[in-house]
């Protein structure tokens, strides 16, 4: 396994749930982080549990098209080099189907889950490929760079994207949310195919039910959904997803676990 010490990470949606669990796991392994979400006070609270120069807080709306550049610039300015691990995690759910979900929420969800994710994936990918010789322009230089990366075990470059099981298996009961994750799942795989020749790993994580703030902020009717969670439970925790992400990013540079689908053992569907 590769060490995660001194990796420079950016995590969006780090104030709760999966993002918070991953922030804590990475910090405990010695990574340096820029963490983002809208609630600055919650981010500061998390950062205050770690040495002062290990976690830098950068609050903002992940749906803002300008945020990705500012986040990446902030990581470079804070830690003196470009981020080598970017976790595109900020996102929200929405209770209901195409016919009965709240149309007033559609735009915000699409903006956060798809457009915000796209801007960050795009900016990160474009920066990461400038960190190495271009394999199309100078194959020999790239081969030497890649050989050295393998020999010394790094630097690894990872873009980790939070999709969902409902981005692969249609659930008519959360179809508007699911459609945003279908988009994210396919964009992550498309970017993986584009980035593979550079040795940049684009990894899709597809969780089933994870008990976080997600259910409340999506407006789930908790009595009914709680009973469903009980029937397939215990459901996952943020820590379970974080552990899977750590597994993927700790692989040697020439090994890529492309896609991880992770459900509570007793969840059949979606
Ligand atoms: N929980 C599940 O069952 C489940 C299953 C599959 C996939 N996922 C995906 O996993 C990711 C994380 O979800 P979670 O379960 O950890 O949910 P969560 O507990 O609700 O956390 C969501 C995080 O995203 C942040 N966020 C939401 N909108 C944002 C915005 N516009 N700008 C910046 N940050 C924003 C929230 O912080 P602020 O409110 O402070 O901004 C929070 O830190 C999401 O992409 C979600 O779709 C979750």
Band the pLDDT of 42: cuts 50, 70, 90: very high
Q: CA 156, 161, 164, 167 torsion: positive or negative?
A: negative
Is residue 110 over pLDDT 90?
yes
Q: What is the pLDDT of residue 178?
A: 98
Q: What is the pLDDT of residue 220?
A: 92
Alpha carbon of 232 to ligand 1 centroid (Å): 22
Is residue 75 over pLDDT 90?
yes
Region 242-260: mean pLDDT is: 98
Token duo for residue 103: 């149309």
Is residue 38 over pLDDT 90?
yes
Region 152-157: mean pLDDT is: 96
Is residue 108 over pLDDT 90?
yes
Percent of the chain with pLDDT over 70: 100
166 lines ligand 1 (CB under 6 A): no
Band the pLDDT of 244: cuts 50, 70, 90: very high
Percent of the chain with pLDDT over 90: 96
**Spatial distance between the Cα atoms of 166 and 154, rounded to a whole number of angstroms:** 34
207 lines ligand 1 (CB under 6 A): yes
Q: What is the pLDDT of residues 162-214, one digit of tens each?
A: 999 999 999 999 999 999 999 999 999 999 999 999 999 999 999 999 999 99
Alpha carbon of 38 to ligand 1 centroid (Å): 11
Q: Whose CA is nearest to atom 22 of ligand 1?
A: 13
Q: What is the pLDDT of residue 216?
A: 95
Query: What are the chain's domains?
Result: 8-262 (3.40.50.720)
Is residue 224 over pLDDT 90?
no
Alpha carbon of 129 to ligand 1 centroid (Å): 28
Region 119-133: mean pLDDT is: 98
Cβ-count burial of 71 within 10 angstroms (0-12 exposed, 13-18 middle, 19+ buried)? Answer: buried
Closest-lying ligand 1 atom to the alpha carbon of residue 38: 41
Spatial contact of 43 and 20, defined as CB atoms under 8 Å apart: no
Alpha carbon of 180 to ligand 1 centroid (Å): 13
Q: What is the pLDDT of residue 2?
A: 84
178 lines ligand 1 (CB under 6 A): no
213 lines ligand 1 (CB under 6 A): yes
Region 81-90: mean pLDDT is: 98
61 lines ligand 1 (CB under 6 A): yes
Q: What is the pLDDT of residue 1?
A: 82
Is residue 111 over pLDDT 90?
yes
């Amino acid at each position: 396994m590769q060490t995660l010490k001194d990796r420079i990470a950016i995590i969006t949606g780090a104030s709760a749930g999966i993002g918070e669990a991953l922030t804590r796991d990475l910090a405990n392994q010695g990574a340096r982080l820029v963490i983002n979400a809208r609630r600055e006070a919650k981010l500061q609270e998390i950062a205050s549990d770690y040495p002062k120069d290990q976690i830098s807080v950068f609050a903002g709306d992940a749906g803002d098209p300008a945020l990705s550049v500012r986040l990446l610039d902030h990581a470079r300015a804070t830690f003196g080099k470009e981020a080598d691990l970017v976790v595109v995690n900020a996102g929200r759910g929405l209770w209901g189907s195409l016919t009965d979900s709240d149309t007033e929420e559609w735009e915000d969800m699409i903006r956060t889950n798809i457009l915000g994710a796209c801007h960050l994936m795009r900016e990160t990918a474009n920066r990461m490929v400038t960190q190495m010789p271009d394999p199309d322009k100078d194959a020999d230089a790239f081969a030497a760079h890649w050989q050295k990366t393998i020999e010394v075990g790094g630097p690894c470059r990872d873009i980790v994207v939070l999709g969902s099981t409902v981005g692969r298996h249609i659930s008519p009961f959360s179809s508007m949310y699911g459609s945003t994750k279908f988009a994210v799942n396919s964009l992550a795989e498309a970017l993986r195919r584009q980035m593979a020749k550079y040795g940049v790993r684009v990894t899709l994580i597809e969780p089933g039910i994870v008990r976080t703030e997600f259910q409340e902020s999506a407006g789930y009717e908790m009595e009914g959904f709680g009973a469903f969670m009980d029937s397939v439970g215990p459901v996952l925790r943020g820590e379970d997803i974080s552990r899977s992400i750590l597994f993927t990013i700790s692989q040697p540079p020439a090994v890529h676990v492309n896609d991880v689908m992770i459900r509570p053992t007793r969840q059949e569907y979606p």
